[in-house]
Amino acid sequence: MPNDPPRAAPDYEPTTLGFALLGLLRDRPQTGYEIRRIFAETPMGTYSSSPGTIYPALKRLQEAGLVTRVPKKADGTRQNLALTQAGHTCLLAWLQRPVAAGDVEKHYDELMLRFAFMNDEVNDATRLRFLRDLGKELKAWLNRLHDYLKSHGCELPLNGRLALGNGIAEVTARLHWARRAYEIIRKTSRRPADCSNASTRERCRKRTDAT
Amino acid sequence: MPNDPPRAAPDYEPTTLGFALLGLLRDRPQTGYEIRRIFAETPMGTYSSSPGTIYPALKRLQEAGLVTRVPKKADGTRQNLALTQAGHTCLLAWLQRPVAAGDVEKHYDELMLRFAFMNDEVNDATRLRFLRDLGKELKAWLNRLHDYLKSHGCELPLNGRLALGNGIAEVTARLHWARRAYEIIRKTSRRPADCSNASTRERCRKRTDAT
DNA sequence: TCCGGCATGTAAGGTGTTACATGATTGC
DNA sequence: GCAATCATGTAACACCTTACATGCCGGA
Protein backbone atom coordinates (compact mmCIF):
# COMPACT_ATOMS: atom_id res chain seq x y z
CA MET A 1 0.00 0.00 0.00
CA PRO A 2 1.80 3.12 -1.23
CA ASN A 3 1.75 6.01 1.20
CA ASP A 4 4.89 8.04 0.36
CA PRO A 5 4.23 11.02 -1.86
CA PRO A 6 5.12 10.43 -5.51
CA ARG A 7 6.64 7.00 -4.97
CA ALA A 8 10.32 7.79 -5.00
CA ALA A 9 12.69 5.46 -6.79
CA PRO A 10 14.70 4.10 -3.91
CA ASP A 11 18.26 4.00 -5.20
CA TYR A 12 18.54 6.49 -7.99
CA GLU A 13 21.96 8.10 -8.24
CA PRO A 14 21.84 11.51 -9.87
CA THR A 15 24.60 12.51 -12.23
CA THR A 16 26.82 15.51 -11.63
CA LEU A 17 24.33 17.65 -13.49
CA GLY A 18 21.55 16.19 -11.35
CA PHE A 19 23.33 17.24 -8.17
CA ALA A 20 23.92 20.68 -9.62
CA LEU A 21 20.18 20.98 -10.15
CA LEU A 22 19.41 19.76 -6.65
CA GLY A 23 21.83 22.29 -5.24
CA LEU A 24 20.31 25.15 -7.18
CA LEU A 25 16.80 24.17 -6.18
CA ARG A 26 17.81 24.03 -2.54
CA ASP A 27 18.59 27.74 -2.64
CA ARG A 28 15.03 28.43 -3.72
CA PRO A 29 12.33 26.86 -5.90
CA GLN A 30 12.86 27.84 -9.48
CA THR A 31 11.53 27.15 -12.93
CA GLY A 32 13.56 25.22 -15.45
CA TYR A 33 14.09 28.39 -17.38
CA GLU A 34 15.57 30.24 -14.44
CA ILE A 35 17.98 27.38 -13.95
CA ARG A 36 18.89 27.51 -17.60
CA ARG A 37 19.73 31.16 -17.18
CA ILE A 38 22.05 30.38 -14.30
CA PHE A 39 23.94 27.88 -16.39
CA ALA A 40 24.05 30.28 -19.30
CA GLU A 41 25.21 33.34 -17.37
CA THR A 42 27.40 32.13 -14.53
CA PRO A 43 30.52 29.98 -14.22
CA MET A 44 28.15 27.14 -13.28
CA GLY A 45 27.80 26.78 -17.04
CA THR A 46 30.65 24.29 -16.83
CA TYR A 47 28.12 21.79 -15.59
CA SER A 48 25.64 21.97 -18.42
CA SER A 49 25.27 22.95 -21.99
CA SER A 50 21.77 23.33 -23.35
CA PRO A 51 18.06 22.98 -22.58
CA GLY A 52 18.15 19.55 -24.15
CA THR A 53 20.27 18.44 -21.22
CA ILE A 54 18.61 20.29 -18.38
CA TYR A 55 14.97 19.47 -18.92
CA PRO A 56 15.43 15.72 -19.22
CA ALA A 57 17.62 15.81 -16.12
CA LEU A 58 14.90 17.66 -14.21
CA LYS A 59 12.40 15.12 -15.43
CA ARG A 60 14.54 12.28 -14.15
CA LEU A 61 14.80 13.95 -10.76
CA GLN A 62 11.04 14.26 -10.63
CA GLU A 63 10.56 10.64 -11.58
CA ALA A 64 13.00 9.69 -8.84
CA GLY A 65 10.92 11.67 -6.37
CA LEU A 66 13.67 14.13 -5.53
CA VAL A 67 11.97 17.15 -7.05
CA THR A 68 8.31 18.23 -7.32
CA ARG A 69 6.34 20.94 -8.94
CA VAL A 70 4.86 23.54 -6.62
CA PRO A 71 2.66 26.53 -7.42
CA LYS A 72 4.42 29.87 -7.51
CA LYS A 73 3.95 32.15 -4.55
CA ALA A 74 1.66 34.92 -5.66
CA ASP A 75 -0.28 34.13 -8.79
CA GLY A 76 -0.15 30.35 -8.67
CA THR A 77 -0.21 29.97 -12.42
CA ARG A 78 3.47 29.32 -13.06
CA GLN A 79 4.89 25.99 -11.91
CA ASN A 80 8.06 26.03 -9.89
CA LEU A 81 10.35 23.17 -9.11
CA ALA A 82 11.38 22.45 -5.54
CA LEU A 83 13.21 19.79 -3.58
CA THR A 84 11.21 17.10 -1.85
CA GLN A 85 12.25 15.79 1.51
CA ALA A 86 13.92 12.88 -0.27
CA GLY A 87 15.74 15.31 -2.55
CA HIS A 88 17.01 17.26 0.41
CA THR A 89 18.20 14.09 2.10
CA CYS A 90 19.87 12.93 -1.08
CA LEU A 91 21.68 16.23 -1.48
CA LEU A 92 22.89 16.24 2.11
CA ALA A 93 24.14 12.67 1.85
CA TRP A 94 26.06 13.62 -1.25
CA LEU A 95 27.58 16.67 0.41
CA GLN A 96 28.85 14.53 3.26
CA ARG A 97 30.28 11.82 1.07
CA PRO A 98 34.00 11.32 1.63
CA VAL A 99 36.52 12.13 -1.08
CA ALA A 100 37.10 8.81 -2.81
CA ALA A 101 40.45 7.82 -4.25
CA GLY A 102 40.46 8.54 -7.96
CA ASP A 103 37.73 11.16 -7.74
CA VAL A 104 40.39 13.77 -7.90
CA GLU A 105 41.56 12.55 -11.30
CA LYS A 106 38.26 11.73 -12.92
CA HIS A 107 35.60 13.75 -11.17
CA TYR A 108 37.22 16.92 -9.98
CA ASP A 109 34.38 19.01 -11.32
CA GLU A 110 31.92 17.08 -9.19
CA LEU A 111 34.11 17.55 -6.12
CA MET A 112 34.19 21.31 -6.64
CA LEU A 113 30.45 21.38 -7.15
CA ARG A 114 30.03 19.53 -3.90
CA PHE A 115 32.24 21.93 -2.05
CA ALA A 116 30.45 24.92 -3.52
CA PHE A 117 27.13 23.63 -2.20
CA MET A 118 28.35 22.93 1.33
CA ASN A 119 26.47 25.70 3.04
CA ASP A 120 25.40 26.12 6.67
CA GLU A 121 23.66 22.77 6.71
CA VAL A 122 27.10 21.21 6.71
CA ASN A 123 29.28 21.87 9.71
CA ASP A 124 32.82 23.14 9.52
CA ALA A 125 34.27 19.79 10.50
CA THR A 126 32.83 18.25 7.36
CA ARG A 127 34.16 21.07 5.22
CA LEU A 128 37.60 20.76 6.74
CA ARG A 129 37.63 17.00 6.38
CA PHE A 130 36.70 17.40 2.73
CA LEU A 131 39.53 19.83 2.09
CA ARG A 132 42.03 17.77 4.03
CA ASP A 133 41.20 14.58 2.12
CA LEU A 134 41.13 16.50 -1.12
CA GLY A 135 44.59 17.83 -0.36
CA LYS A 136 45.87 14.35 0.39
CA GLU A 137 44.56 12.95 -2.86
CA LEU A 138 45.90 15.89 -4.84
CA LYS A 139 49.29 15.53 -3.22
CA ALA A 140 49.39 11.83 -4.07
CA TRP A 141 48.43 12.55 -7.65
CA LEU A 142 51.05 15.25 -7.90
CA ASN A 143 53.66 12.81 -6.64
CA ARG A 144 52.66 10.29 -9.27
CA LEU A 145 53.02 12.90 -11.97
CA HIS A 146 56.40 14.01 -10.67
CA ASP A 147 57.59 10.42 -10.48
CA TYR A 148 56.50 9.81 -14.02
CA LEU A 149 58.24 12.92 -15.24
CA LYS A 150 61.41 11.92 -13.44
CA SER A 151 61.49 8.39 -14.76
CA HIS A 152 60.14 8.88 -18.28
CA GLY A 153 60.61 12.57 -18.92
CA CYS A 154 63.58 12.20 -21.21
CA GLU A 155 61.84 9.64 -23.38
CA LEU A 156 59.01 12.05 -24.06
CA PRO A 157 59.07 14.45 -26.96
CA LEU A 158 59.24 18.11 -26.02
CA ASN A 159 55.53 18.70 -26.44
CA GLY A 160 54.60 15.65 -24.45
CA ARG A 161 56.81 16.84 -21.63
CA LEU A 162 55.30 20.28 -21.77
CA ALA A 163 51.77 18.88 -21.72
CA LEU A 164 52.70 16.85 -18.67
CA GLY A 165 54.01 20.07 -17.19
CA ASN A 166 50.61 21.61 -17.73
CA GLY A 167 49.02 18.81 -15.77
CA ILE A 168 51.52 19.28 -12.97
CA ALA A 169 50.95 23.02 -12.88
CA GLU A 170 47.23 22.47 -12.74
CA VAL A 171 47.31 19.94 -9.92
CA THR A 172 49.76 22.13 -8.04
CA ALA A 173 47.38 25.06 -8.29
CA ARG A 174 44.54 22.92 -7.02
CA LEU A 175 46.61 21.69 -4.12
CA HIS A 176 47.61 25.19 -3.10
CA TRP A 177 44.02 26.25 -3.32
CA ALA A 178 42.88 23.37 -1.13
CA ARG A 179 45.40 24.36 1.54
CA ARG A 180 44.50 28.02 1.40
CA ALA A 181 40.80 27.20 1.59
CA TYR A 182 41.46 24.95 4.57
CA GLU A 183 43.15 27.76 6.44
CA ILE A 184 40.43 30.24 5.58
CA ILE A 185 37.70 27.99 6.87
CA ARG A 186 39.67 26.99 9.92
CA LYS A 187 40.15 30.63 10.87
CA THR A 188 36.56 31.70 10.27
CA SER A 189 35.35 28.62 12.07
CA ARG A 190 36.02 30.25 15.46
CA ARG A 191 33.97 33.37 14.86
CA PRO A 192 31.11 32.28 12.64
CA ALA A 193 30.02 35.48 10.91
CA ASP A 194 28.38 35.56 7.50
CA CYS A 195 28.53 38.07 4.69
CA SER A 196 25.24 39.79 5.38
CA ASN A 197 25.78 42.11 8.33
CA ALA A 198 27.16 45.60 8.67
CA SER A 199 30.94 45.40 8.86
CA THR A 200 31.14 42.87 6.06
CA ARG A 201 32.53 44.89 3.22
CA GLU A 202 36.19 44.61 4.15
CA ARG A 203 36.12 40.99 5.22
CA CYS A 204 34.35 40.11 2.02
CA ARG A 205 36.96 41.86 -0.04
CA LYS A 206 39.70 40.18 1.93
CA ARG A 207 38.20 36.77 1.28
CA THR A 208 37.70 37.62 -2.32
CA ASP A 209 41.35 38.46 -2.73
CA ALA A 210 42.24 35.17 -1.16
CA THR A 211 41.28 33.17 -4.18
CA MET B 1 33.32 0.08 -58.14
CA PRO B 2 35.19 0.24 -54.84
CA ASN B 3 38.93 0.53 -55.17
CA ASP B 4 40.09 2.23 -51.97
CA PRO B 5 41.38 -0.19 -49.38
CA PRO B 6 38.84 -0.91 -46.66
CA ARG B 7 36.31 1.64 -47.88
CA ALA B 8 36.86 4.48 -45.46
CA ALA B 9 33.87 6.28 -44.03
CA PRO B 10 34.29 9.75 -45.47
CA ASP B 11 33.35 12.10 -42.64
CA TYR B 12 33.80 10.24 -39.40
CA GLU B 13 34.87 12.45 -36.52
CA PRO B 14 36.74 10.53 -33.85
CA THR B 15 36.13 11.37 -30.22
CA THR B 16 38.86 12.59 -27.92
CA LEU B 17 39.65 9.01 -27.05
CA GLY B 18 39.76 8.19 -30.74
CA PHE B 19 42.36 10.88 -31.35
CA ALA B 20 44.35 9.62 -28.39
CA LEU B 21 44.42 6.20 -30.01
CA LEU B 22 45.44 7.62 -33.37
CA GLY B 23 48.26 9.54 -31.72
CA LEU B 24 49.54 6.49 -29.89
CA LEU B 25 49.41 4.37 -33.03
CA ARG B 26 51.35 6.99 -34.94
CA ASP B 27 54.31 6.46 -32.65
CA ARG B 28 54.38 2.80 -33.62
CA PRO B 29 51.96 0.00 -34.44
CA GLN B 30 50.70 -1.60 -31.27
CA THR B 31 48.19 -4.13 -30.05
CA GLY B 32 45.11 -3.09 -28.17
CA TYR B 33 46.59 -4.53 -25.05
CA GLU B 34 49.74 -2.45 -25.28
CA ILE B 35 47.60 0.62 -25.63
CA ARG B 36 45.60 -0.42 -22.62
CA ARG B 37 48.80 -0.59 -20.65
CA ILE B 38 49.73 2.92 -21.65
CA PHE B 39 46.42 4.23 -20.40
CA ALA B 40 46.75 2.21 -17.23
CA GLU B 41 50.32 3.17 -16.39
CA THR B 42 50.88 6.70 -17.61
CA PRO B 43 49.17 10.06 -17.10
CA MET B 44 47.44 9.42 -20.42
CA GLY B 45 45.04 7.41 -18.30
CA THR B 46 43.01 10.60 -18.02
CA TYR B 47 41.74 9.88 -21.49
CA SER B 48 40.39 6.41 -20.94
CA SER B 49 39.18 4.09 -18.27
CA SER B 50 38.78 0.46 -19.16
CA PRO B 51 39.07 -2.12 -21.94
CA GLY B 52 35.36 -1.78 -22.51
CA THR B 53 36.04 1.72 -23.78
CA ILE B 54 39.22 1.15 -25.74
CA TYR B 55 38.38 -1.86 -27.83
CA PRO B 56 35.11 -0.51 -29.19
CA ALA B 57 36.86 2.75 -29.98
CA LEU B 58 39.57 0.90 -31.90
CA LYS B 59 36.88 -1.00 -33.74
CA ARG B 60 35.19 2.23 -34.76
CA LEU B 61 38.48 3.59 -36.06
CA GLN B 62 38.94 0.46 -38.12
CA GLU B 63 35.44 0.71 -39.51
CA ALA B 64 36.14 4.30 -40.42
CA GLY B 65 39.25 3.18 -42.30
CA LEU B 66 41.64 5.12 -40.09
CA VAL B 67 43.32 2.07 -38.58
CA THR B 68 44.18 -1.38 -39.94
CA ARG B 69 45.55 -4.62 -38.66
CA VAL B 70 49.06 -5.49 -39.79
CA PRO B 71 51.15 -8.58 -39.03
CA LYS B 72 53.77 -8.16 -36.36
CA LYS B 73 57.36 -7.79 -37.48
CA ALA B 74 59.09 -11.06 -36.68
CA ASP B 75 56.71 -13.92 -36.07
CA GLY B 76 53.69 -12.63 -37.92
CA THR B 77 51.24 -14.34 -35.65
CA ARG B 78 50.21 -11.43 -33.45
CA GLN B 79 48.11 -8.75 -35.06
CA ASN B 80 49.16 -5.16 -34.59
CA LEU B 81 47.14 -2.06 -35.20
CA ALA B 82 48.55 0.73 -37.35
CA LEU B 83 47.42 3.98 -38.91
CA THR B 84 46.25 3.96 -42.51
CA GLN B 85 47.06 6.85 -44.80
CA ALA B 86 43.61 8.23 -44.07
CA GLY B 87 44.25 7.89 -40.37
CA HIS B 88 47.48 9.79 -40.65
CA THR B 89 45.80 12.54 -42.65
CA CYS B 90 42.98 12.72 -40.13
CA LEU B 91 45.41 13.02 -37.24
CA LEU B 92 47.41 15.76 -38.94
CA ALA B 93 44.30 17.73 -39.79
CA TRP B 94 43.24 17.53 -36.17
CA LEU B 95 46.65 18.68 -34.95
CA GLN B 96 46.46 21.75 -37.15
CA ARG B 97 42.94 22.66 -36.20
CA PRO B 98 42.72 26.15 -34.70
CA VAL B 99 41.75 26.67 -31.08
CA ALA B 100 38.03 27.32 -31.20
CA ALA B 101 36.27 29.67 -28.81
CA GLY B 102 34.77 27.67 -25.99
CA ASP B 103 37.13 24.74 -26.42
CA VAL B 104 39.09 26.09 -23.53
CA GLU B 105 36.12 25.77 -21.21
CA LYS B 106 34.62 22.52 -22.38
CA HIS B 107 37.37 20.56 -24.08
CA TYR B 108 40.60 21.53 -22.43
CA ASP B 109 41.67 17.93 -22.14
CA GLU B 110 41.38 17.51 -25.88
CA LEU B 111 43.43 20.64 -26.44
CA MET B 112 46.22 19.32 -24.25
CA LEU B 113 46.12 15.98 -25.98
CA ARG B 114 46.47 17.76 -29.28
CA PHE B 115 49.42 19.75 -28.12
CA ALA B 116 51.11 16.67 -26.70
CA PHE B 117 50.89 14.97 -30.08
CA MET B 118 52.28 17.88 -32.08
CA ASN B 119 55.61 16.33 -32.94
CA ASP B 120 58.04 17.07 -35.76
CA GLU B 121 55.37 16.64 -38.40
CA VAL B 122 53.98 19.94 -37.21
CA ASN B 123 56.14 22.99 -37.64
CA ASP B 124 56.96 25.45 -34.89
CA ALA B 125 54.73 28.12 -36.37
CA THR B 126 51.72 25.87 -35.82
CA ARG B 127 52.78 25.11 -32.28
CA LEU B 128 53.27 28.77 -31.50
CA ARG B 129 49.97 29.73 -33.06
CA PHE B 130 48.26 27.10 -30.96
CA LEU B 131 49.79 28.38 -27.75
CA ARG B 132 49.13 32.00 -28.63
CA ASP B 133 45.45 31.34 -29.37
CA LEU B 134 45.19 29.14 -26.31
CA GLY B 135 46.59 31.97 -24.22
CA LYS B 136 44.10 34.41 -25.68
CA GLU B 137 41.16 32.19 -24.92
CA LEU B 138 42.41 31.46 -21.43
CA LYS B 139 42.90 35.14 -20.75
CA ALA B 140 39.37 35.90 -21.93
CA TRP B 141 37.97 33.17 -19.74
CA LEU B 142 39.95 34.41 -16.78
CA ASN B 143 38.58 37.89 -17.31
CA ARG B 144 35.04 36.56 -17.36
CA LEU B 145 35.65 34.75 -14.08
CA HIS B 146 37.17 37.84 -12.49
CA ASP B 147 34.29 39.98 -13.67
CA TYR B 148 31.80 37.56 -12.24
CA LEU B 149 33.62 37.47 -8.93
CA LYS B 150 33.72 41.25 -8.81
CA SER B 151 30.04 41.72 -9.61
CA HIS B 152 28.49 38.77 -7.80
CA GLY B 153 31.15 37.73 -5.32
CA CYS B 154 29.41 39.17 -2.28
CA GLU B 155 26.15 37.43 -3.07
CA LEU B 156 27.87 34.08 -3.04
CA PRO B 157 28.20 32.01 0.10
CA LEU B 158 31.74 31.50 1.33
CA ASN B 159 32.11 28.08 -0.19
CA GLY B 160 30.77 29.18 -3.53
CA ARG B 161 33.26 32.02 -3.58
CA LEU B 162 36.07 29.69 -2.69
CA ALA B 163 35.07 27.23 -5.41
CA LEU B 164 35.10 30.07 -7.88
CA GLY B 165 38.54 30.89 -6.58
CA ASN B 166 39.61 27.38 -7.40
CA GLY B 167 38.49 27.85 -10.98
CA ILE B 168 40.36 31.14 -11.19
CA ALA B 169 43.52 29.59 -9.76
CA GLU B 170 43.27 26.76 -12.24
CA VAL B 171 42.79 28.94 -15.29
CA THR B 172 45.56 31.21 -14.10
CA ALA B 173 47.92 28.26 -13.85
CA ARG B 174 46.98 27.17 -17.35
CA LEU B 175 47.54 30.65 -18.70
CA HIS B 176 50.96 30.93 -17.12
CA TRP B 177 51.84 27.53 -18.49
CA ALA B 178 50.77 28.53 -22.00
CA ARG B 179 52.99 31.58 -21.87
CA ARG B 180 55.96 29.69 -20.52
CA ALA B 181 55.54 26.98 -23.13
CA TYR B 182 55.34 29.64 -25.82
CA GLU B 183 58.66 31.08 -24.75
CA ILE B 184 60.30 27.68 -24.52
CA ILE B 185 59.27 26.74 -28.03
CA ARG B 186 60.14 30.13 -29.42
CA LYS B 187 63.63 29.89 -28.02
CA THR B 188 64.32 26.33 -29.13
CA SER B 189 62.85 27.12 -32.51
CA ARG B 190 66.11 28.83 -33.57
CA ARG B 191 68.45 25.96 -32.75
CA PRO B 192 66.44 22.81 -33.35
CA ALA B 193 68.14 20.24 -31.15
CA ASP B 194 66.37 17.17 -29.78
CA CYS B 195 66.79 15.30 -26.55
CA SER B 196 68.82 12.44 -27.92
CA ASN B 197 72.36 13.71 -28.37
CA ALA B 198 75.34 14.02 -26.05
CA SER B 199 75.04 17.30 -24.19
CA THR B 200 71.38 16.78 -23.56
CA ARG B 201 71.32 15.96 -19.89
CA GLU B 202 71.39 19.49 -18.59
CA ARG B 203 69.03 20.95 -21.13
CA CYS B 204 66.63 18.16 -20.46
CA ARG B 205 66.72 18.80 -16.77
CA LYS B 206 66.32 22.50 -17.37
CA ARG B 207 63.26 21.93 -19.48
CA THR B 208 61.90 19.51 -16.95
CA ASP B 209 62.19 22.07 -14.21
CA ALA B 210 60.38 24.53 -16.40
CA THR B 211 57.05 22.83 -15.92
C1' DT C 1 46.95 -28.51 -11.98
C1' DC C 2 45.71 -24.21 -11.06
C1' DC C 3 46.40 -19.35 -10.92
C1' DG C 4 47.65 -15.07 -12.56
C1' DG C 5 48.77 -12.23 -16.38
C1' DC C 6 48.03 -11.79 -21.37
C1' DA C 7 44.64 -10.44 -24.85
C1' DT C 8 40.15 -9.29 -26.77
C1' DG C 9 36.11 -8.45 -26.51
C1' DT C 10 30.29 -8.21 -25.63
C1' DA C 11 25.90 -6.49 -23.38
C1' DA C 12 22.83 -3.40 -20.97
C1' DG C 13 21.95 0.90 -19.60
C1' DG C 14 21.93 5.63 -18.99
C1' DT C 15 23.40 10.00 -20.49
C1' DG C 16 25.32 14.00 -22.98
C1' DT C 17 25.00 16.25 -27.64
C1' DT C 18 22.82 18.47 -31.16
C1' DA C 19 19.18 19.97 -33.55
C1' DC C 20 14.63 20.88 -33.97
C1' DA C 21 9.61 21.96 -32.42
C1' DT C 22 6.07 24.53 -29.98
C1' DG C 23 3.21 27.73 -27.54
C1' DA C 24 2.67 31.88 -24.41
C1' DT C 25 3.89 36.67 -23.29
C1' DT C 26 5.48 41.08 -23.65
C1' DG C 27 6.97 45.26 -25.96
C1' DC C 28 6.95 48.16 -30.16
C1' DG D 1 0.24 42.69 -35.72
C1' DC D 2 5.02 41.09 -35.25
C1' DA D 3 9.32 40.10 -33.25
C1' DA D 4 11.89 38.86 -29.41
C1' DT D 5 12.07 36.71 -25.32
C1' DC D 6 10.01 33.48 -22.18
C1' DA D 7 9.38 28.60 -21.29
C1' DT D 8 9.38 23.65 -22.11
C1' DG D 9 10.35 20.24 -24.20
C1' DT D 10 11.27 15.86 -28.03
C1' DA D 11 14.08 12.84 -31.09
C1' DA D 12 18.09 10.61 -32.97
C1' DC D 13 22.47 9.28 -32.09
C1' DA D 14 26.74 7.93 -30.47
C1' DC D 15 29.24 7.47 -26.68
C1' DC D 16 30.98 6.09 -21.96
C1' DT D 17 30.44 3.15 -17.83
C1' DT D 18 30.27 -1.01 -15.64
C1' DA D 19 30.20 -5.52 -15.43
C1' DC D 20 30.82 -9.71 -17.32
C1' DA D 21 32.72 -13.45 -20.67
C1' DT D 22 36.31 -15.92 -22.99
C1' DG D 23 40.55 -18.29 -24.42
C1' DC D 24 45.49 -18.73 -24.13
C1' DC D 25 49.86 -19.28 -22.02
C1' DG D 26 53.65 -19.78 -18.69
C1' DG D 27 55.17 -20.78 -14.20
C1' DA D 28 54.61 -22.76 -9.17
- Nucleotide nearest B33, from its CA to each C1': C7
Pairwise pLDDT comparison (B200 vs A34), residue with the higher score? A34
What pTM was computed for the model? 0.88
Spacing of B71 CA from C7 C1' in Å: 16
B126 touches strand C (CB under 7 A): no
pLDDT tens track for A64-107: 999 999 887 555 556 689 999 999 999 999 999 999 989 999 99
Would you call B127 and A159 a contact, using CB atoms and an 8 Å cutoff? Answer: yes
B52 touches strand D (CB under 7 A): yes
Question: How many interface pairs between A and B have CB atoms less than 8 angstroms apart?
Answer: 144
Mean pLDDT by 10 residues, chain B (211 residues): 45 94 95 94 91 94 94 64 96 97 94 97 97 98 97 96 98 98 92 50 49 50
Please compute the mean of the pLDDT values over residues A52-65 and round it to a whole number. Answer: 95
Would you call B163 and A200 a contact, using CB atoms and an 8 Å cutoff? Answer: no
Task: Out of A17-26, A30-39, A192-201, pick the least confident.
Answer: A192-201
Nearest CA in chain A to B211: A165
Q: Is the pLDDT of residue A172 over 80?
A: yes
8 Å CB contact between A80 and A31 = yes
pLDDT value at position A3?
35
Q: Is the pLDDT of residue A190 over 80?
A: no
Q: Is the pLDDT of residue A41 over 70?
A: yes
pLDDT value at position A197?
47
pLDDT value at position B3?
35
**Angle at which helices A158-190 and B200-209 cross, to 10°:** 30
CB burial readout B125-158, b (16+ within 10 A) else e:
eebeebbebbbebbbebbeebbebbeeebbebbb
B13 touches strand C (CB under 7 A): no
Spacing of A56 CA from D10 C1' in Å: 10
